[in-house]
Structure 1
Amino acid sequence: MCGIAGYHGFGEDEALLKVMNDCIEHRGPDGEGYFTEGNVGLAHRRLSIIDVAHGQEPMISADGDTVLVYNGEVYNYLELRAELEGLGRAFRTQSDTEVVLQSYEQWGTEAFDRFNGMFGLAILDKKKNVTVLARDHFGIKPVYWANAGTAEAPKIIFASEIKPLLQSGKIERKPNERILYRYLQYRIHDDSAETFFDGVFKLQPGEMMAIDNATGTYSISAFTRLREELEELSKVNRPYTPEVTEEYRTRFTEAIRMRLKSEVPLGSALSGGLDSSAVVVTINKLMQEKAEATDSLGAKQNTFSAVFPNSINDEEHYADAAIAKCSGNIQAHKILPTPDGFAADLDDFVRTMEEPIISSGPYAQYCVMKEASKHVTVLLDGQGADEMMAGYIPYYFAYLRQLKAKGDYKTLLKEATSSLDIFYRLGRFRLQGKLTAKKTVAMSSLLNKSFTGKYKGENFSNIPDNMKLRLIDDLFHKSLPSLLRYEDKNTMRFSLEGRVPFLDKEVVKFLFSLSDEAIIKGGWNKRILRDATRGLLPEKISNRRNKIGFTTPEAEWFKLMKERLYKIFMSNSFAERPYWNREAVLTAFEEYLNDKNDADTMIFWRLLNVELWFREFIDNNETPADVKENKSDYEPNPGKELDITVPAEAGGETFRRYPLQTGVFKRETDLDPEVLSYVKRFFDGLDSADEATRKAVTSTPWYLLVSEKIVAITQGRSFPVWEIKVSPAARVLSKFVKRTPAGIGLGSPWSMQIAINEVGLPLIVKAAAASVVGKLQGKSGVFYDVVGHNINAIDGATPYSLGSSANSVKLAPKDPEAVARRISALVRESVPAEYAANFAGTSIMDANDLGVVAMGHDTDLTKDTIQAIFKDNPQGQGAQATPMSLVFKQN
């Protein structure tokens, strides 16, 4: 198992290959290799599994005319090798890589359809002057590509992941908005060659790309008829008999045995479901029989399970039952994913997946793979069984509609009657949802109309009344491709090879040649698998009706993680995306947390995932131009000035303002010593300041100006939005307030609610009515004249702010004049005497880009003068982290 990367059209540029290959070191930490010739470059990362001592890549043929980089395993390589040797070919290594290379030399691209396994490969064929890319029959291993040239003069870059394409610098990072829409609206992805990145594509299962090395032109075509074969075989309808069950058991067991070939430790993923349990107990049987290739397992089979004690998603008791059935031949490893761990891993998880995914469920798999990588290098699991044996409830309905369309009412009645318990459980959940009369939330209500309007012609549908055709469609397009993406990303992130024995193409073809009864019979799906593993599996697994699989208790976690999710939904970047209405999202999320709507967590996950995906892959994450990190105490904020001359009516004098960059103030911060520490830092560092600064602060009156925000925070008058219970009145009243930049004022339900909490709803309503009358008379500010100017100082949650301020609503500080006097007294006691003598007091300021108010002070200045000093808001906003300034009067 490995990673590949390469290009056509950039000359012999090994440096480019190295940049691309470094992005996928995790796919192959055991070695790397490069090849360039003419306009073609090939790169490889190796995870050594078979013929560890040899098989390095790029692999070059004996005559030097064929060069291969290859990611995957071809499990029938020994049979192919024997056939090739019979044709007179000799081999230098024991690797399957050389079998792939010589198979291509012998049969050309027709060789690909002979392979039974998983692969993503690139071949430089000098004789035919072409470069060929190919992806296995089911798309287990990925091949991504992009045209970094033009339609007339293509330049192709390709890799096992998308990150190398982005890191190459040859393509622009842009979102594919059509795919984004389909994902957000319909919850679908990976159903076509397009990706979430504009201009980045993937080969579809069973496809190959041929690039003309002379011109760079390329074509994409299928190298296999597997899908068509399955459709043809589905009409055979071989009767389902005990002999058929035995044949399936033999074929399935052989598919597993072939996937045990390894020179490194091998184990199994065990969810506790039917599929993974069937793999585990079959391996156990092979070990007991001392079958060929089982030495890779060691003395005991290592299994890896995600468990969620006391959660509705927990399957531990099923996994334990499968383990117990193996009579002590299992070394079980149980992994406990947690919401705290998920929060810590979230950025890496998004980076690992590369594109948005359906839910947070694959994080459980991520955790399993992380732990498994400490013990084994190869891991088998049960992926793919659901899409070939009707593992999901919608397949039942497709089957029943099929029977109805055929007029087979006898079988229809029998199957419907046998499935009543399933339909009852499904109907009960739906009925409960209707009886609760909760507000219905659809994704479309959260998306911006300008965005959805662009794609109103998009739609999504499934094959409704032909079960096998529905399964085939899901195998190649609708369902399995996304699951295989998760499998590949999660395993390779931790340098693991994942093997999926259910996706043995010969076993799949055999299954689809059987009658529908092999898939659904007597109300039981996966009937042939259940029957084939009778006696091997405990009955509680063989007779399971419910399905969970590797997933997370997302609904439970989201409520525990609400603070983290609020911070993302309230961020500036989330607010500025053109795809959704942030206010609608926040309202829906708040209602969901309070059990007031029927929203599914997957709605919020999709929004969250897209936001985090943008941050990771699309956004320019450079520090904004108006933020200067590690700013000196003696320089202004970017775009601001140190000096200001106030108007004549405010005294006409000139003042120099030095904004002080600080740490983040929190509720538990002790305000006074923290403020004093920055004041002392300013004076302690003067010796290193320039002469102009030292002259400006000598023998002149000076003042300390402190933001009301940090005072309110440390007084406990800052409230996280998730702690504020918003009333219907607050929600309605806030809609009539003019929205100000970034949530300043009462234009949000949360800030309106704490205003109501502070002065009471009657006064707010009275002030609102007076404001309406005042506006008719041409007056402004009437609302705050009635309600009080402390309410004017309320700040909404502002996305640009640091720390908890980004997600909190703040009341005006209590008794700002007393705070100013207290701080002034401490300053006089603490700063050097020469400066203490000229200290003229403190002012608590409410300043932003909309206006400034001196809320309380003990200076010798008038409020008009103080406000004039700060009219250009020299402390800046948010990320500058400059909530206080020292101000010196200039002579």
Structure 2
Amino acid sequence: MCGIAGYYGLSANEALLNTMNDVQEHRGPDGEGIFVDGPCGLAHRRLSIIDVAHGQQPMATADGRYSIAYNGEVYNYLDLRAELEGLGRTFETDSDTEVVLQAFAQWGRDAFDRFNGMFGLAIWDRDEQRLTLARDHFGIKPVYVCRVPASEGSSSAEALLFSSEIRPILASGLYEKKPNERSIYRYLKFRAHEDGTETFFDGIERLEPGEMLEADADGIRRSMFTRLREELLELAEEQRPYDDAAAAEYKARFIEAVRLRLQSEVPVGTSLSGGLDSSAVAVIINQLINEGDKRTESVGTQQNTFSAVFPNSINDEERYVDAVLEICKGHVDGHKILPTPEEFKADLRDFVRTQEEPLISSGPYAQFQVMREATKHVTVLLDGQGADEMMAGYIPYYAVYLRQLRAQGAKAAAAELSKSLDVLFRLGRFRVKAKLKGRKDVPVTSLLNPAFTSKWTDERFPVEQSHLKKRLIQDLFHNSLPSLLRYEDKNTMRFSLEGRVPFLDKEVVKFIFSLTDEAIIKDGWNKRILRDATRGLLPESINRRRNKIGFTTPQSEWFMRLKNHFYSIFLSESFANRPYFNQTEVLHAFEGWIKGSNNSDTMMFWRFINLELWLQEYFDEEPQVDKATAQAAPKSDVEPNAGKSLDITTERGETVRRYPIRTELFAKDDDLDAKVLARIDEFFETLPTAGAEHDAATKGRWYLFISEKIIAITQGRSFFVWDIKVGKPARVLSKYVTRTPAGIGLGSPFTMQLAIEEAGLPRVLYAAAGGAVGKAIGRKGLFYELVGNQIAAIDGPTEYSAYPSNVSAKLAPKDPDQVAARLSAGIRSRVPAAYKDSFAGTIVMDANDIGRNVLGSDVPDDKARFEEMFADNPLGQGSEQTPMALVFIQDTD
């Protein structure tokens, strides 16, 4: 497996080729090469699999006319080589690359349809000055293209960049990055994400399965080199009878497909999920080992299998994996990987970066983990990708088949339905359960920015609903398989592995489609032909399984474990500022999911999270950090927080110095006084060593300013949002309040619920009515004046706060004046004598970068004076963890 890149229509540019090549080094760590001729440049990264000693690329024919950069494996290359030798062609290497090159030199574009395998390639014809790109029949290997302005003096109006991944095009510097809003809308609304030529990058496209592109002086042309899709439809009309002989022939064909994909000079292993498909591959390889088949030399006497397992999870497949390992006992070394939600969180940005475009679930992360482990043991990995789309492996296919049967006659449909009821029940059981519990659906469009959705209201995502094989062909080439193949390519190549998919043998697929539909579904059993072919090879527990899971994660469980992290993503300013989302509604819906009060699901929330992280990774200028967990640089007590200053001169002419004091995080039931006073002791113990700071601190009166947040936390007046029981009035009222990105105010049903509980619903309604009148007459803040009870100090989760405040809502502290007096008494009883007389008291301050408000104090002074001292908010309650400050009034004498 390899990586290709290059251009057409530009001046010779080796530096550009090297730049594009470097960013996909992981696709080919074993070698690299570039080729330049006139307007064409080719670049290649090599992962050596066949003819390791030779086969370096770009490779040219002996006469120099054709040059190739090739990614993939053509498994029938030995047969093609023999045919080409019969036509008089000679070979200098044993690689399939040279066979592909010579085949093109012999047959031109007709060569591609002869290949049985996977490929993404570029061939330059020196004599015709023509670049040809091509992608295999099923799109197993990717080819991305992007049109850019041609070099000055070029004979072409526009130039072309191409590569195996998107990042080389981004790195070229010739493409101006822009998100594809149509793709974003279709992804969010329909879950479509690999359903055509467009990518999520506006102007970057992919070749479709079975497509080729030609670029020369006459322009750029795209066309299909194969009629495979049409052939499958034509074969479907043949309706050859399905019987034991057909099952036996399929078995022989599939075993040969596996044998062909064991060709390798480097170690080969198997990806084993425990499902029917990957288990079939594993047991066939085991049978070939037992038979002493020469092709298994690449596997060795012990087949390495790699499985993701999730103990105690509903998604766990370990018992099925163990059943396969038992069948293969003596010739297998089973590696089990146990992904955790903590690892998922740590890997999330790398995973998003690896995939290059959004995906519809976190499921492929299990595969990501498997590939990371597999690369320690093997270089090639076989798996079961593609079987579901050709043999109706997903539950919705049953509904399609039943509609088809109903059109053919009610009796046949009724008979099939009676034997499929348990399967169909699984399709609808969660929706039925949600309806019984009264949970409401949350349409995804209700969570999007109306201005964004209005642009794309005409978009549709038609799906074949009443013809089984037409639906399978649609999913093979358009709706389903392309995305799965993308996941596989990105995950394997991220760790320099080659993935091979024996179910996508072109001839095997054509054979299945030539049979009647009963080879696919019969008597409630899908994948019937595969079940029949593997009876006696596979354990009955797998051969007769009716529930499919596969390589995926326990997403719902993980989301609940990581809800605080995902909540902070939705709460972030970057998410709030995107033109695609309605942040308030997304937060409402996510809070409802946490509480179990709506019928939204993690698949929908994953799309929002994935899209946001993708935008951060590929479009935001500044690298994103988790503000709630990222640690600020260490500082001493006499240094300001980053971006802040120690000193401020108020409008009254007072010069004030504020020392922000770093503390440990506060929790419920902590002894507030003990923790605060201990830190004040430390401050004065170290102050004499601070030089000039010592002199500045001894000249005037000083105060303790303390954040209301830590007081509320220690009083048990801070609550996780998912622990607040929200009533209908809070949900209704909160929708009429603007929700700030910083989480301040009553724009959340959780903060509104706290307000109702604190002040009472009648008073909140009274204040809301007064607030509406105040808006009409231009008077701001009337709501908070009328409601009282320090409701203005209620805050929701804030992105910048340290955990758990980033996922909590809190009330104002109880009895803040008493807290201030108590702390002041403690300070006076213990500070050094030199500072005791000048200590003036404690101020409980609600401060942030938007505003500040004195909630309590034991100082008989104007509150506005103290608020002026915090006009620039020197505190830091996120990663800085400085929720209090010692404030000194500088003596001007």
Change (3 A) 1:763 1:373: same
Stretches of structure 1 that go unaligned for 5 or more consecutive residues are 647-651, 688-692
| 1:442-470 deviations in Å (ceiling 9; x for gaps) | 21222222222111101112222222222
Question: Aligned partners of 1:739 and 1:232: how far apart in 2?
Answer: 57
Aligned residues: 877
User: Quick check: 1:666–1:804 contact (8 Å CA) kept in 2?
Assistant: no
User: Quick check: 1:264–1:378 contact (8 Å CA) kept in 2?
Assistant: yes
Question: Aligned partners of 1:603 and 1:873: how far apart in 2?
Answer: 38
User: Quick check: 1:696–1:888 contact (8 Å CA) kept in 2?
Assistant: no
Which one-letter code corresponds to 1:190 in the other structure?
A: E
Counterpart of 1:649?
A: none
Counterpart of 1:583?
A: 584
Deviation at 1:482, TM superposition (A): 0.8
Is 1:197 aligned to residue 198 of structure 2? no
Which one-letter code corresponds to 2:372 in the other structure?
A: K
Deviation at 1:737, TM superposition (A): 4.4
Change (3 A) 1:228 1:747: closer
Per the alignment, in what secondary structure is the counterpart of residue 165 of structure 1?
helix
User: Quick check: 1:745–1:795 contact (8 Å CA) kept in 2?
Assistant: yes
Counterpart of 2:732?
A: 732
Counterpart of 1:377?
A: 379
Counterpart of 2:212?
A: 208
Is 1:644 aligned to residue 618 of structure 2? no
User: Quick check: 2:289–2:301 contact (8 Å CA) kept in 1?
Assistant: no
Change (3 A) 1:455 1:663: farther
Change (3 A) 1:324 1:871: closer
Counterpart of 1:274?
A: 276
Counterpart of 2:439?
A: 438
Deviation at 1:187, TM superposition (A): 1.5
Deviation at 1:574, TM superposition (A): 2.0
User: Quick check: 1:125–1:131 contact (8 Å CA) kept in 2?
Assistant: yes
Deviation at 1:337, TM superposition (A): 2.3
Residue in structure 1 matching 2:256, options 231, 247, 254 = 254
User: Quick check: 1:661–1:880 contact (8 Å CA) kept in 2?
Assistant: no
Question: Aligned partners of 1:877 and 1:320: how far apart in 2?
Answer: 50
Change (3 A) 1:254 1:675: farther
Deviation at 1:202, TM superposition (A): 0.6
Mean CA deviation greater in 725-734 or 828-837: 828-837
Which one-letter code corresponds to 1:644 in the other structure?
A: T
Residue in structure 2 matching 1:157, options 158, 161, 183 = 161
Question: Aligned partners of 2:390 and 2:365: how far apart in 1?
Answer: 24
Per the alignment, in what secondary structure is the counterpart of residue 323 of structure 1?
helix
Q: What are the within-5 Å matches in structure 2 for residues 604-619 of structure 1?
A: 604-619=605-620
Which one-letter code corresponds to 1:529 in the other structure?
A: L
Per the alignment, in what secondary structure is the counterpart of residue 235 of structure 1?
helix
Change (3 A) 1:488 1:820: same
Change (3 A) 1:332 1:636: closer
Is 1:477 aligned to residue 478 of structure 2? yes
| 1:251-290 deviations in Å (ceiling 9; x for gaps) | 1111110001111111111222221122112112211211
TM-score by length of 1: 0.90
User: Quick check: 2:34–2:44 contact (8 Å CA) kept in 1?
Assistant: yes
Counterpart of 2:560?
A: 559
| 1:516-555 deviations in Å (ceiling 9; x for gaps) | 2322233332222222222212223222222221122222
Counterpart of 1:416?
A: 417
Mean CA deviation greater in 476-485 or 534-543: 534-543
Deviation at 1:767, TM superposition (A): 5.1
Which one-letter code corresponds to 1:855 in the other structure?
A: L
Change (3 A) 1:81 1:446: same
Q: What are the within-5 Å matches in structure 2 for residues 333-352 of structure 1?
A: 333-352=335-354
| 1:804-842 deviations in Å (ceiling 9; x for gaps) | 433322333455456556766787899998888866555
User: Quick check: 2:35–2:58 contact (8 Å CA) kept in 1?
Assistant: yes
Deviation at 1:168, TM superposition (A): 2.6
Per the alignment, in what secondary structure is the counterpart of residue 460 of structure 2?
coil
Which one-letter code corresponds to 2:501 in the other structure?
A: V
Counterpart of 2:3?
A: 3
Deviation at 1:179, TM superposition (A): 0.9
Which one-letter code corresponds to 2:288 in the other structure?
A: L
User: Quick check: 2:745–2:795 contact (8 Å CA) kept in 1?
Assistant: yes
Question: Aligned partners of 1:844 and 1:282: how far apart in 2?
Answer: 72
User: Quick check: 2:113–2:225 contact (8 Å CA) kept in 1?
Assistant: yes
Change (3 A) 1:673 1:317: same
Per the alignment, in what secondary structure is the counterpart of residue 890 of structure 2?
strand
Counterpart of 1:448?
A: 449
Counterpart of 1:59?
A: 59
Question: Aligned partners of 1:873 and 1:59: how far apart in 2?
Answer: 64
Is 1:496 aligned to residue 501 of structure 2? no
Deviation at 1:679, TM superposition (A): 7.7
User: Quick check: 2:699–2:891 contact (8 Å CA) kept in 1?
Assistant: no
User: Quick check: 1:637–1:875 contact (8 Å CA) kept in 2?
Assistant: no
Question: Aligned partners of 1:104 and 1:370: how far apart in 2?
Answer: 36
Which one-letter code corresponds to 2:178 in the other structure?
A: K
Question: Aligned partners of 2:614 and 2:166: how far apart in 1?
Answer: 13
Which one-letter code corresponds to 1:313 in the other structure?
A: N
Note the aligned Cα RMSD (angstroms): 3.5
| 1:734-791 deviations in Å (ceiling 9; x for gaps) | 3454655633223322222233444554554565567678889997756545654533
Deviation at 1:140, TM superposition (A): 0.2
Question: Aligned partners of 2:69 and 2:246: how far apart in 1?
Answer: 40
User: Quick check: 1:664–1:802 contact (8 Å CA) kept in 2?
Assistant: no
Change (3 A) 1:410 1:698: closer
Mean CA deviation greater in 159-168 or 114-123: 159-168
Mean CA deviation greater in 238-247 or 765-774: 765-774
Counterpart of 2:319?
A: 317
Counterpart of 1:222?
A: 224
Question: Aligned partners of 1:138 and 1:361: how far apart in 2?
Answer: 22
| 1:690-711 deviations in Å (ceiling 9; x for gaps) | xxx9997784555554443355
Percent same amino acid among aligned pairs? 59
TM-score by length of 2: 0.89
Deviation at 1:433, TM superposition (A): 4.0
Is 1:601 aligned to residue 605 of structure 2? no
User: Quick check: 1:631–1:661 contact (8 Å CA) kept in 2?
Assistant: no
User: Quick check: 1:664–1:881 contact (8 Å CA) kept in 2?
Assistant: yes
Counterpart of 1:690?
A: none
User: Quick check: 1:705–1:887 contact (8 Å CA) kept in 2?
Assistant: no
Per the alignment, in what secondary structure is the counterpart of residue 742 of structure 1?
coil
| 1:81-116 deviations in Å (ceiling 9; x for gaps) | 222222233322222122222222222232222211
User: Quick check: 1:270–1:319 contact (8 Å CA) kept in 2?
Assistant: yes
Per the alignment, in what secondary structure is the counterpart of residue 465 of structure 1?
coil
Is 1:187 aligned to residue 191 of structure 2? yes
Q: What are the within-5 Å matches in structure 2 for residues 429-828 of structure 1?
A: 430-622=431-623, 642-646=647-651, 652-658=652-658, 660=660, 665-667=665-667, 670-674=675-679, 684-685=689-690, 699-701=699-701, 703=703, 705-713=705-713, 717-737=717-737, 739=739, 742-761=742-761, 764-765=764-765, 768=768, 783-785=783-785, 787-788=787-788, 790-817=790-817, 820=820
Per the alignment, in what secondary structure is the counterpart of residue 448 of structure 2?
coil
Mean CA deviation greater in 21-30 or 452-461: 21-30
Question: Aligned partners of 1:694 and 1:420: how far apart in 2?
Answer: 81
Which one-letter code corresponds to 1:165 in the other structure?
A: I
Is 1:177 aligned to residue 177 of structure 2? no
User: Quick check: 1:742–1:799 contact (8 Å CA) kept in 2?
Assistant: yes
Mean CA deviation greater in 719-728 or 874-883: 874-883
Which one-letter code corresponds to 1:331 in the other structure?
A: D
| 1:301-347 deviations in Å (ceiling 9; x for gaps) | 22222222333322222232233333533222222222222222222
Change (3 A) 1:790 1:77: same
Change (3 A) 1:564 1:876: closer
Deviation at 1:386, TM superposition (A): 1.2
Change (3 A) 1:124 1:702: farther
Counterpart of 2:394?
A: 392
Per the alignment, in what secondary structure is the counterpart of residue 148 of structure 1?
strand
Deviation at 1:793, TM superposition (A): 2.0
Q: What are the within-5 Å matches in structure 2 for residues 30-45 of structure 1?
A: 30-45=30-45
Mean CA deviation greater in 749-758 or 118-127: 749-758
Question: Aligned partners of 1:484 and 1:7: how far apart in 2?
Answer: 25
